[in-house]
Amino acid sequence: MSNTPMNPLAPVIVTGASRGIGRELVSQLLAQGHSVIGVARTGPDLPESPTFRFIPYDLFDRAEVARLVDTLRPLRPRGLINNAGLQTSTDLARLSPGAAAELVGTEIAAHAKCAAKAGLANMSIALRGQARAAPGLLVCEANLPLVETDMTRGRGTGKITPAAAAEAILRALAHRRTRVWIGKTRILALLGRLAPGIASRLLLGRVAEPN
């Protein structure tokens, strides 16, 4: 995300914009006066306006991603919030090599969750290092707890709302944070430093999740 003064012709791109956190990010960015381009397979229940445009793309189709980049490049976007995600519950030991490569590649290309989260974290670190050559460019990694969305319906307790998640993400960007732990993930971050074994078991569901 660039810290240059907002140009109404320079939009912020939000992927996964049709529902949940992405829908809230779009709404809150518009309320703050930003121009926004939403990207998802299906459109959100928001009308297009001089400050909001929706572009339908499937980010899990690599050919479509290449076309999307070509579409967005001339617009010189001010920032990208990469929110699109895919959640898969599967036995990794039973995946064929091709299916495993597709799963990991898709997760990291769009928005890594669960097993691919480490890949996204390391990619963010590498990108942040390379971004030093571009003064003002911010690379921020947001770590979220369970959020009440269609993706998490029927799972877990103590979830935060999409509105709260979006607000926390935008607050971190406004304060130019490079990494932010939101909600209960702050406990996980602390455990990762003090007791990494417990943190690993928590991620694998072998100890009770903190309330």
Q: Between these two residues, 85 and 107, which has the higher pLDDT value?
A: 85
Residue 209 covered by a domain: no
Residue 103 covered by a domain: yes
Residue 56 covered by a domain: yes
Residue 6 covered by a domain: no
Residue 207 covered by a domain: no
Residues 148, 185, 93: CA angle, nearest 5 degrees: 80
User: Minimal CA–CA distance to 6: which of 173, 180, 185?
Assistant: 173
pTM of the model: 0.74
In this prediction, residue 106 has a pLDDT band, given cuts at 50, 70 and 90, of: very low
Residue 203 has pLDDT above 90, yes or no: no
In this prediction, residue 38 has a pLDDT band, given cuts at 50, 70 and 90, of: very high
Residue 204 covered by a domain: no
- The counts of H helices and E strands in the chain are 7, 6
Residue 7 covered by a domain: no
Residue 196 makes CB contacts below 8 A (sequence gap 6+) with none
CATH code assigned at 44: 3.40.50.720
How crowded is the C-beta side of 104, counted as CA atoms within 13 Å?
11
* CA dihedral of residues 60, 64, 68, 70 (deg, nearest 10): 140
3-state secondary structure 98-110: HHHHHHHHHHHHC
Start-to-end CA distance of the chain, whole Å, equals 33
Q: What is the pLDDT of residue 206?
A: 46
Number of domain units in the chain:
1
Q: What is the pLDDT of residue 209?
A: 47
Q: What is the pLDDT of residue 90?
A: 57
* CA dihedral of residues 152, 155, 203, 15 (deg, nearest 10): 0
Domain residue limits at 101: 12-183
Residue 176 covered by a domain: yes
